[in-house]
């Protein structure tokens, strides 16, 4: 019986053994991060008080193209990698498009998203450097869930500050974190000075990612042997995520195709970087013509409507100044369901690549993304995370363009996670209760007033 291959999976011994560092190949390197006080470029050592040393060095490494995946991390990757590359035949048929659509299914990780790829690496480096305790913040809980798994795997204690409103309204990711042994605290909390200050001013405060970051950093600075880790935005996180695209490149070869368009949803940039950078390498070095498209929410449009300036990575201004496309660190995105995409800025590598024309971006209203997610679920059988619905909606737009033009483009998108713990969002969509948000030009301009112009 001659059947078509649906899923392409690499044998275990063909899982890539190195991550790809695009900084080494970039023609215009990312601009330096600056110390906000002195305005001097940061060195790796300046990051050591908060981050582990290996990740601090990876952050600023602009010379080594390939970085070995430590054996211990590789062994952990084998629990769920290689993730499948899937040809979306049913989606193609339903759209009646001549395009070939593929997706990389990162939702098969034990915690349901791509975030584990970097959580395992960061936990490993912490352990190796003698760290015993790790802290982080989490919004909807995807990053906290991934890190709790990784800390259990490497024997580290984890304290997570979870935005209070999510802690109350989205209890199941909290349960996942607790199942893996993490200590989860609703933020703001009375356990830090930053939290106490906020509660004293406003006892009913629902919390924000900015406050949770402040609490996590404060704990890391005041606890011996404790480091802070982040799930997105930073260059080392993007580096770890390139395992996605490196596998996909080999899997596309198994399918006998090469993508014309690569799409990922965009929050801080980690899953997009992961699927895109290994293919972008061929654009930079060999003049390949693949198009790269980051799919962001209309409610938080930093790539399509933000400005390229120096800005803080967090609301409270604790981080170095980062050269990035930003809506301003005080920007308060509407409370959309794709919590992982509600971030005001983009990483420094992505920002440079966008400025130099190596990639593009598109913004999508949330009702269109849920419509795409439901359509995808009904034809391909997987309920996507609300974040991933943005990538699907963008892929559907491209497939529809192919239908009009008759072009047989090969479209590859990253399915960054599943939505099985986000069904309340689907309930709202199916009940017709979801609305779209888009900030006015005046709102955006007002928030950009405080950011530092690029010299
Ligand atoms: C966190 C998250 C995102 C957004 O973060 P990036 O760093 O931009 O990838 C996207 N999808 C899922 C499933 C997530 O958990």
Give the tens place of pLDDT for each residue, 261-271: 999 999 999 99
Question: What's the whole-number mean pLDDT along residues 67-87?
Answer: 98
Domain assignment of residue 203, yes or no: no
Hey, which of 387, 388, 394, 414 would you mutate to test ligand 1's pocket, going by the most ligand atoms within 8 Å of its Cβ? 387
pLDDT surpassing 70 at residue 27: yes
Rg, the chain, Cα only:
21
CATH of the domain at 374: 3.40.50.1100
Residue 455 confidence class, pLDDT cut points 50, 70, 90 = low
Residue 223 CA to ligand 1 center (angstroms) comes to: 29
Rounded CA separation 211/188 (Å)? 7
Residue 19 CA to ligand 1 center (angstroms) comes to: 19
Q: Look at residue 228 in the predicted model and tell me its pLDDT.
A: 94
pLDDT surpassing 80 at residue 433: yes
CA atoms within 13 A on the CB side of 414: 35
Our measurement of the distance from residue 284's CA atom to the centroid of its chain's CA atoms, rounded to an integer in Å, reads 23
Residue 122 CA to ligand 1 center (angstroms) comes to: 17
Domain assignment of residue 379, yes or no: yes
CB-count exposure of residue 245 (10 Å: 0-12, 13-18, 19+): buried
Confirm or reject: Cβ of 58 under 6 Å from ligand 1: no
Domain assignment of residue 301, yes or no: yes
Residue 296 CA to ligand 1 center (angstroms) comes to: 11
| Entry pTM | 0.97
CB-count exposure of residue 443 (10 Å: 0-12, 13-18, 19+): middle
Residue 203 CA to ligand 1 center (angstroms) comes to: 31
Sheet holding 360-364, edge to edge: 7-8, 85-87, 100-105, 410-415, 261-265, 291-297, 360-364
Q: Whose CA is nearest to atom 7 of ligand 1?
A: 270
Question: What's the whole-number mean pLDDT along residues 329-343?
Answer: 84
pLDDT exceeding 70 applies to what percent of the chain?
A: 100
Confirm or reject: Cβ of 113 under 6 Å from ligand 1: yes
For residue range 144-170, list pLDDT tens digits in order. Answer: 999 999 999 999 999 999 999 889 888
Q: Look at residue 166 in the predicted model and tell me its pLDDT.
A: 87
Our measurement of the distance from residue 26's CA atom to the centroid of its chain's CA atoms, rounded to an integer in Å, reads 21
- Contacting residues for 142 by C-beta, under 8 A, at least 6 apart: 111, 112, 113, 115, 173, 231, 340, 385, 417
Domain assignment of residue 368, yes or no: yes
CA atoms within 13 A on the CB side of 17: 5
- Contacting residues for 394 by C-beta, under 8 A, at least 6 apart: 263, 265, 293, 295, 362, 364, 413
Domain assignment of residue 37, yes or no: no
Domain membership of residue 386 as a residue range: 71-112+236-450
* Residue 19: strand pairing partners: 67
Q: Look at residue 3 in the predicted model and tell me its pLDDT.
A: 87
pLDDT exceeding 90 applies to what percent of the chain?
A: 86
Domain assignment of residue 198, yes or no: no
Confirm or reject: Cβ of 138 under 6 Å from ligand 1: no
Domain assignment of residue 427, yes or no: yes
For residue range 307-320, list pLDDT tens digits in order. Answer: 999 999 877 777 88
Confirm or reject: Cβ of 267 under 6 Å from ligand 1: yes
Confirm or reject: Cβ of 118 under 6 Å from ligand 1: no
Residue 233 CA, closest ligand 1 atom number: 7
Residue 263 CA to ligand 1 center (angstroms) comes to: 13
Rounded CA separation 372/397 (Å)? 10
Residue 366 CA to ligand 1 center (angstroms) comes to: 15
Rounded CA separation 272/15 (Å)? 20
3-state DSSP: the chain helix, strand, coil percent, rounded to 5? 45, 20, 40
Rounded CA separation 191/45 (Å)? 29
Of 1-5, 47-51, 325-329, the poorest mean pLDDT is in 1-5
Hey, which of 105, 108, 109, 113 would you mutate to test ligand 1's pocket, going by the most ligand atoms within 8 Å of its Cβ? 113
Domain assignment of residue 217, yes or no: no
pLDDT surpassing 90 at residue 334: no
DSSP state of 81: P
Q: Look at residue 117 in the predicted model and tell me its pLDDT.
A: 98
Rounded CA separation 423/238 (Å)? 28
Residue 29 CA to ligand 1 center (angstroms) comes to: 24
How high does pLDDT run on average in the chain?
95
Q: Look at residue 282 in the predicted model and tell me its pLDDT.
A: 98
Plot region of 406 (φ>0 → left; ψ -120 to 50 → alpha; else → beta) = left
Question: What phi, psi does 197 have (nearest 5°)?
Answer: -60, -45
Burial 72-94 (b: 16+ CB within 10 A, else e): bbbebbeeebbbbbbbbeebbeb
Number of domains in the chain: 1
Confirm or reject: Cβ of 122 under 6 Å from ligand 1: no
pLDDT surpassing 80 at residue 210: no
Confirm or reject: Cβ of 333 under 6 Å from ligand 1: no
């Amino acid at each position: 019986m001659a059947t078509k291959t649906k899923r392409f999976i690499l044998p275990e011994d063909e899982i890539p053994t190195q991550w790809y560092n695009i900084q080494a190949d970039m023609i215009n390197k990312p601009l330096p991060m600056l110390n906000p006080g002195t305005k001097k470029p940061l060195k790796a050592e300046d990051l050591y008080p908060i981050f582990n040393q290996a990740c601090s060095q990876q952050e600023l490494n602009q010379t080594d193209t390939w970085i070995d995946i430590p054996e211990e991390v590789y062994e952990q990757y084998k629990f769920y990698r290689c993730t499948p590359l899937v040809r979306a035949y049913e989606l193609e048929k339903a759209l009646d498009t001549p395009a070939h659509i593929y997706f990389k299914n990162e939702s098969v990780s034990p915690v349901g998203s791509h975030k584990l790829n970097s959580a395992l690496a960061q936990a490993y480096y912490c352990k190796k450097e003698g760290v015993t305790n790790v802290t982080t913040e989490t919004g909807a809980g995807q990053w906290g869930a991934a890190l709790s798994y990784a800390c259990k795997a490497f024997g580290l204690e984890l304290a997570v500050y979870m935005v209070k409103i999510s802690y109350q309204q989205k209890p199941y990711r909290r349960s996942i974190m607790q199942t893996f042994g993490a200590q989860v605290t609703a933020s703001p909390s009375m356990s830090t000075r930053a939290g106490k200050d906020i509660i004293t001013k406003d006892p009913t405060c629902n919390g924000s990612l900015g406050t949770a970051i402040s609490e996590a950093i404060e704990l890391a600075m005041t606890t011996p042997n404790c480091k802070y880790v982040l799930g997105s935005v930073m260059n080392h996180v993007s580096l770890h995520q390139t395992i996605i695209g490196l596998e996909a490149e080999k899997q596309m070869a198994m399918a006998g195709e090469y993508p014309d368009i690569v799409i990922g949803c965009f929050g801080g940039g980690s899953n997009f970087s992961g699927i895109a950078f290994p293919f972008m390498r061929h654009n930079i070095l060999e003049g390949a013509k693949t198009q790269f498209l980051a799919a962001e929410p209309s409610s938080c449009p930093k790539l399509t409507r933000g400005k390229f300036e120096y800005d803080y990575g967090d609301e409270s201004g604790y981080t170095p100044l980062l050269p990035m496309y930003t809506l301003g660190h005080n920007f308060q995105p509407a409370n959309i369901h794709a919590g992982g995409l509600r971030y005001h800025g983009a990483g420094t590598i992505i920002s440079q690549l966008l400025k130099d024309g190596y990639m593009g971006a598109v913004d999508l209203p949330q009702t269109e993304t849920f419509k795409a997610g439901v359509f995808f679920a009904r034809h391909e059988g997987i309920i996507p995370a609300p974040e991933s619905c943005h990538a699907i909606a963008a892929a559907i737009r491209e497939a529809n363009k192919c239908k009009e033009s008759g072009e047989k483009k090969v479209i590859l998108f990253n399915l960054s996670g599943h939505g099985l713990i986000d069904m309340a969002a689907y309930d709202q969509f199916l009940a017709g209760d979801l609305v779209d948000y888009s900030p006015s030009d005046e709102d955006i301009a007002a928030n950009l007033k405080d950011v530092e112009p690029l010299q």
